[in-house]
Amino acid sequence: MTRKKERFVFTEEERQAEPACPFFASCGGCKYQDVDYPLQVAAKARWLSELFERPVEVMPSPVVYGYRNRMNFVYAFGKLGLRQFGTYKWVVDIDRCALMSKEANALLGRVRGLLSHHDIRCYNYIRHEGYLRYVCLRSTRLGETMVIFVTANASPEIQPIIEPIQGEAASVVWEIQEGLADLSEGRIHQIAGAPTIREKIGRFTFKMGPNSFFQNNPYLIEALFDDLAGFVQGRVLELYCG
């Protein structure tokens, strides 16, 4: 796989698309926004065909942006965002993400304002000092949203933010992660509002908790399930291993 990964590179001529995100040049969240999506799909099909030594067809996503149902934003060094591309020590301060829904982006802006207004301490993950580690956002195609605050301890500093956010999100969760590891989830300390939010895939409705595993692109997984239904009989288990 290492040898194959070294070939996951596009030429300058191929990297001419206009990125949807103004933070693309520095943010480490996306790598190929400057490559047209059909070209990305074709390249992945070619790489996988070489890897498995047989023709592989890659199913494109029906939606390229605004699909992702969870984003974890680190709160460190006075910035709320994602880590800079190529380094662990810097955070890119972002006020919106092209991968999230409009509902999630609206919540991101609201949370940013409240963090500043209430002067909530961020967490230095290098020195292991501070308070608020992560702000995680979950959203579904049904329009339901969840905000998850992950703090380093049980200090009630986050309380002034929970109440106003509760009026704008279906669920607000406070989790505590006291360990040294850089984790965006922890022990559930408080839930305001609903304990889960709902997502609909085909004729099934799923409930997602703050730490539930769920495919990040519901549009693509729905297309995949529809495709599988044509040649699979009986019950199917989707087994996940980290």
pLDDT interval class at 154 (50, 70, 90): very high
Quote the CA–CA distance of 96 and 167 in Å, as a whole number. 20
Please compute the mean of the pLDDT values over residues 36-59 and round it to a whole number: 95
Identify the pLDDT of residue 123.
98
Nearby residues of 114 by Cβ (< 8 Å), 6 or more positions away:
120, 160, 161, 164, 165
Residue 174 has pLDDT above 80, yes or no: yes
pLDDT at residue 7 in the model: 54
C-beta of residue 103 within 8 angstroms of C-beta of residue 110: no
In the chain, the largest separation of any two C-alpha atoms, in whole Å, equals 57
Q: Mind listing the domains of the chain with CATH numbers?
A: 2-52 (no CATH), 70-201 (2.40.50.1070)
pLDDT number for residue 1: 44
Q: pLDDT digits over 192-204, tens only?
A: 999 999 999 988 9
Mean pLDDT value across residues 114-136: 97
Between 74 and 13, the more confident residue is 74
Whole-angstrom Cα distance, residue 64 to residue 77?
A: 31
pLDDT class for 75, splitting at 50, 70, 90?
very high
- Contact indicator for 76, 127 with CB cutoff of 8 Å: no
- pLDDT for 86 equals 87
User: Above 50 in pLDDT, residue 18?
Assistant: yes
Question: How far apart are the C-alpha atoms of 81 and 66, rounded to whole Å?
Answer: 17
Residue 100: HSE in the Cβ half-sphere, 13 Å Cα cutoff: 24
**Hey, what amino acid is at 118?**
H
